Structure 1
Amino acid sequence: MPLISRLTSFYGGNAMPMPRFIALQRGHEHHLEQKTGKESVSDLWRKILSKKQPQEDKKGPILPKKYGTCQEMVGYGTSGIVHVSYRRKENGIGEELYAVKELQRRSRETEDEYIRRLTAEFCVLSELRHPNVIRTLELLTDARGNYCQVMEYCEGGDLFTLVHSAGKLEVQEADCFFKQLMRGFEYLHEMGVVHRDLKPENLLLTRHGSLKISDFGNSDCFCMA
């Protein structure tokens, strides 16, 4: 009998919410809730940042043409603000979601230094290919001329939010996330990339429990001797 049918039968025929983590005889399953900006960002930050959101240029910049219009904020950090962008699929059925990070200029950083830094960072990130590292797709400018990184969107939120809302993780669940983290870091170090800002907020999750290392704003590259 399929798992959903077994759960429905167990609860007397009434469909119940899928448990977040299910241990099976041969493995386990993750079923994380889809997160939105309202669930992952405080009202205070939304109020502060909403005052800095000018309307988009009517001419239509490259970013919304390719990846849709940025909507709610889903994250923020020292290197930028992240919004979710919705683009209708080519067949017209459903939408594709992307994470768009507006990259802020550092204090005392000139325009040329800002562009060189972001270009160099993107050249490294766009070459990374691993299931446990966030996929960086493009570096584009928005209507205000700010550089934005377009990345895959992880609808399960981040590890910090999950632990905070759940109280604690199941042993198998935590073990699964830790193993994925180690695989991701092993790959990054093999590629000569040091993250330098590891924390639960920078570990993103898909709805099925795939962990992805994100936010490389403080990262550095090294060469093996």
Structure 2
Amino acid sequence: MENINVLYIHGMGGGGDSRIPSILKEHINPYIEKCYAGMADKGVAALETGCPHVSVVVRTYSFDPEVAWGQISSWMEELKPVLVVGESLGSLNAIRIKGVPHILVSPSLNAPVYLGYLAFLALIPGVTQLFDRIYRPKDGDRQRLHFTFRTLRKYRRLRREALANSSRAGGRDAFFAFFGTHDHYRRSGIVSIRTWRKYFGPSTYRVYEGTHFMEEEFVLSLLMPKIVDSLFKLFYYL
């Protein structure tokens, strides 16, 4: 049996116990076994090692983009994932990774622009503490949010470096995104299908009838099948 890793990069304030990767961890291998059995019945050529076992790995990383990239780079070296999933603001770090397929959930490509503007507000006494209180993450293994000028000003650079790997910039990786029809961040432009199309093309996304925080029914009916389909294309003759 082949053991393969999928790295899940959570969104702002997420972490090791985030909801979507927890759902994937519980359901993805039974789903793969079912799909593999169907392929075997149809005589599809497969790996001699048999049905693969997938480990969905999610770890809490720093809110500071510079520190976060060091952490994520070390995890890439350690885990050698064959596919990366990014959620919301975490999609920028996922896109920045080169050499693997990328699947994104509610990618917030324009959030770094807003955070860049907020950086100057953070210079006003009391603003950092206010933002820290407003955007305090849930209890548990979660990313600590600290809205300082030094941290926020780094997000524009993160966006530039991520989009340098986009299809428009000549990147050769595969990208696919999911957007919710009721995503409240689309009203402000933080999440933008138009921006996604600009950098990744018109046939690289799907819209579902849900919110920014992909509901479990769509994790199971859309995200998980897309991940498994991408994995099978990597390892099987389809």
TM-score (norm: length of structure 2): 0.26
Bigger share in helix? 2
Determine which structure has greater relative contact order: mean sequence separation of CA pairs < 8 Å that are 6+ residues apart, divided by chain length.
2
Whose Rg is larger? 1
TM-score (norm: length of structure 1): 0.27
Bigger share in strand? 1
